[in-house]
Structure 1
């Protein structure tokens, strides 16, 4: 189905991004997955080509383009042509905006040029080992000591956790207030900051995921993002964009699986004819095409809402839930259409099946997404008896 939200400049950007992905990223995918992380050179190449933090001010080396369609195009090409484990979108559209929006001028002047160039890789650490999606159950804490803050605790399931140079860390700052959370930028080399081993996962083999530990880490005042008691509100404000980024990636992943399967069932023969000639195969592809087109339209509409500053938390939760459910459903069907080959890692669809599973969990589980949507409808279990 033709997509109507893109203009000529977006399509030109897509051509540039597609060539870069094919020439620079695609040849590295197998080594990424074998090593459990993306190489730093790929981030540097992304920076050199102007693909990181497109929205950043020109003073920091950015292009000043605040149009999510460009980030959408880039993410689609990275997922389709390389691997979803290259978390340039986490770096650019999820973590860096915290620094840009809430960081001190000194912090921005120090970190943003490197974030744009790819020299400073970013991560965000929200999840405590015992809290999961429940940010109000956070145990990691920070106490003020003079002008500095002292951070103690642990975080887990942190993407870019091994290779990140700077991490935005959420910590409780007032034990008397359940939502008093501060955001602190912890940098490599700070005393008391340590990383655990790379966590073994079901999928996303190319994405380094780690535990992080904070043993009385002294964080200078300039590394505190905004009001140290309003971090919960800041996260709530930016989580809508994070969930939109997940939706964009999930749609790209579903489309890539569809394309892989179309090629396979057209060439693969059984009982003297292509697998795609059987009614069940044809109808399965037709159902997937329809479902992908519907969800893509919703996702594209959400991108335009985000451009206008009108993407609500409820709608972001809707699109995250719908697209990640669809991604998993489509890829499961694609594995089935590959038959035994779909269970073999030499076929990309097998890896895609493992990679997709976490999308219904991260950025807030889909069960939490339903809760957010329900509360938007007025169903708040905390207030209902």
Structure 2
């Protein structure tokens, strides 16, 4: 006779309606001895997801979007249990595990409801498609999978800690001028850090070729957020590919630049959202009620304006570093521009290998003039440069 978990999965996981879930949940609820096997089956589904390119944050993101916060907490419990079996985890996994929602407790008093939730989650996990991997699955090393070696760091580099602190202060302050100054300094440190790492790599002290990471791009207004992320990635010598169906963007680049993209995008999105909320409140006070079009236009303007400024600022800081190198300052070796050009080529080739077939898509345009004006002004306040919009040289 088939184990109860096999019967429950056969009934629940391959049907599109709730009748199969009802049958499977009834079988599990009536057999407390099957609880352990039911949880092990979920961990098995997670291992399949890892092999198909998924990572913990990706799984929780899609579960939250499709099934809600309760199921995301259930997924977090399974992920915590499954990943505990490995002596070491791939890069970025520790941070993702730390960011999981609080795990749902096992064995709730309502056995039928708990079993139903488990099987609903398993059905989603079973149907996850293959996606482009951005690192090795747990239990396998970079050399087995072709990803660049990235040894685990004992602690975060001091530069990143400083950048993170500056951006946190920029997000928290209620004074635009202070936020601008803090973000300016953070971006200056990012740009310098990127150039220093490129030169170290050119001297044979780097950590290999380009890597990749995924960053969630959540609704609402995901097209504007994806445009902002693309602008931040391009300005930091990375390439971004948005998967609108699954709600994330894959960013390809060298590790210091990927870290910069994650930090800066998150901070700019927080600052932009706060500015949008404040501007919208002013519109409502004036009797206006069309908030959806205002927000969409605001964020589109914010993303496009920042994109043009970031591109110009990156060119300026690179030129300043090149001039400093030419004058023999800071002990920089020759050949900065060729080094950066070679890294750009490497990133482009890596992105094309990962995504040999990409498509462009039209996004909904901005239709609200007030939203566009306020969004542009917010982007100017969040500018990445000094008094004239430049990154400090």
Common topology (TM > 0.5) = no
Larger Rg: 2
More helix by share: 2
TM-score (norm 2): 0.21
TM-score (norm 1): 0.22
More strand by share: 1
